[in-house]
Every structure is written in C-alpha cells, then in structure tokens.
C-alpha cells in the first residue's frame, strides 16, 4: 500500500519512493528513506495535506506526494 492510504494512527515501513529527481531527493533529505518507520499523525481539516511522524519529528506532505511512497 501507499502512505496516502494509511489512516491516522497507523504506522508503516517505507519500501520505496516512486518519485524522481529533485522531489525524490527532497523527500529523502527529509528522512523518508527505504526502511524508515513512518506514522500518520493526522489529515489536515480540509482533507489534505497529511502530517506524519518520521525520525522523531513532524513532517507534512500532500496526498499527491504520499501516493508515490510505498509502505508496508
């Protein structure tokens, strides 16, 4: 499944990042790399973006971006 499909409170392990180029680099710079554990904290009041906890801090990203991140 993808990060986008995860519900608030759910945790998962990142398998792969289906982006390329600059955006992929940015995602990885922020600590979302294969094998890392992520937890969805909440979804913004209007349904997008989502807030996740990764490597001990909170990060927000849009569902569009979360949909490219494969988790298990």
Partner 1 sequence: MSYVIALAGNPNCGKTTLFNELTGSRQRVGNWPGVTVDKKEGTYKKNKEILIMDLPGTYSLSPYSAEEVIARDYIVMEKPDAVIDIVDATSIERNLYLTLQILETGIPTVIALNMMDEVEARGDKINAEKLSEILGVPVVPVTARKGKGVPELMAEAVETAKAKKAPKKLPIFDEKLDAAAAKIKEALDAAGEADSGWKAIKLLENDEKVAERVSAELKSQAERIVADSYGAGADLEAVIADQRYQYISRVVKDTVKKGRTGHVETRSDKADKILTNRILALPIFAVIMYLLFACTNSENFLFLGINSPGIWLAGVVETAWGWVTGLVEGLVGNASPWVYSLVIDGIMEGIGAVLGFLPLILVLYVLVSFLEDCGYMARVAFVLDRIFRRFGLSGRAFIPLLQGFGCSVPAVMATRTMESEKDRKITTILCGFMPCGAKLPIFALIVSTLFADSNQTAVTYSLYIFSIVVAIIVSLLLNKFVYKDETSNFIMELPQYRIPTVKTIAMHGWEKVKAYAQKAGTVIFVSTILIWFLSNFNIDSFNGNNAAANEDGSIMCEMDDSFMAGLGNVLAPIFKPQGFGEWRPAAAIVTGWIAKENVVVTFAQLYDEDVSPEYLEGYFSQYSPEELEELGFEGGTYDPEAAPDIYSESILFEGGDENALPTLHEDIPTKSAAYAYMVFNLLCMPCFAAVGAMKRELKTWKELGKAVGVQMLTAYVVSLLVNVIGGLFMN
Gap between the Cα atoms of 35 and 38, Å rounded: 9
Q: Is 55 in the site for partner 1 (CB under 8 A)?
A: yes
Are 8 and 41 within 8 A, CB to CB? yes
Cβ-Cβ contacts under 8 Å for 42 (sequence gap 6 or more): 8, 50, 51
Q: Which of 5, 13, 18, 25 binds partner 1 (CB under 8 A)?
A: 25
Query: Rounded to the nearest whole angstrom, what is the least distance from the CB of residue 6 to partner 1 in the complex?
Result: 14
Query: Rounded to the nearest whole angstrom, what is the least distance from the CB of residue 43 to partner 1 in the complex?
Result: 8
Q: Which residues bind partner 1 (CB under 8 A)?
A: 17, 20, 22-31, 33-36, 39, 42, 44-49, 51, 53, 55-62, 65
């Amino acid at each position: 499944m993808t990060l986008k499909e995860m519900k608030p409170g759910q945790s998962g392990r990142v398998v792969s990042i289906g982006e390329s180029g600059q955006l992929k680099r940015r995602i990885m710079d922020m600590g979302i790399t294969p094998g890392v554990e992520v937890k969805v904290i909440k979804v913004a009041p209007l349904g997008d973006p989502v807030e996740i906890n990764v490597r001990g801090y909170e990060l927000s990203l849009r569902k569009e971006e979360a949909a490219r991140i494969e988790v298990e």
